[in-house]
Amino acid sequence: MIHAFPCGTLPLDFVGTLRARRRAAPTEKLATPDQLDAWFVEAGMLDAAPGADETDLAIAVDLRESIYSLVVARLDGEPLPPRAVAEVNKHAAGLPVTLRLHTDGATRTGSVAQGLAALARETVEIIGGDEAALLRECARPECTQVYLDRSRGHRREWCAMRTCGNRVKAATYRARQHSGAAS
């Protein structure tokens, strides 16, 4: 598995395919069409790779950045950028992923455009609905992952406890140990 899904919300996990956005050289997890194919399969959106090409990849990255623009606007309490709204709405109007029932289960198949349409529709539901108030950015300074804080009391701080949460807590512990040893 080459992708991470810490948010439990596919559009926000999709935004997270550009890691450490504030760094001079962020890490791009959608650098090739094969990586985009892998994202759809690993996310469970499609059972088989849709066969992305370079054009599909460029469209997917553009949608990802439009979703991120909308998320940042909501986080900052700013108006939604019209270009990002138009981009997400354009994709949301697309055909859905095809679900088929078989005697031994179900399958999900579709094109890149169908996968992007599903992400765009879920983005519309998040950004345009009550869940927009639950948007948070990970408190670990190096991380720029955004998630929905559905925790009781809405006090979640990290995109994922097993990664960012553990790193922050371990660093805090080491700093306490170091300052105690220096005294």
pLDDT tens-digit series, residues 48-63: 999 999 999 999 999 9
Please give the CATH number for the structural domain made up of 10-182.
1.10.3300.10
* Domain ranges for the chain: 10-182
Is-contact 83 21, C-beta < 8 A? no
pLDDT (0 to 100) of residue 165:
57
CB 15 within 8 A of CB 135: no
Selected residue with higher pLDDT from 52 and 155: 52
Residue 163 burial (C-beta neighbours within 10 Å; 0-12, 13-18, 19+): middle
pLDDT in tens, 125-137: 999 999 999 999 8
pTM of the model: 0.86
Residue 148: what are its φ and ψ, rounded to 5°? -100, 125
Please state which of the ranges 43-57, 109-123, 158-172 shows the lowest mean pLDDT.
158-172
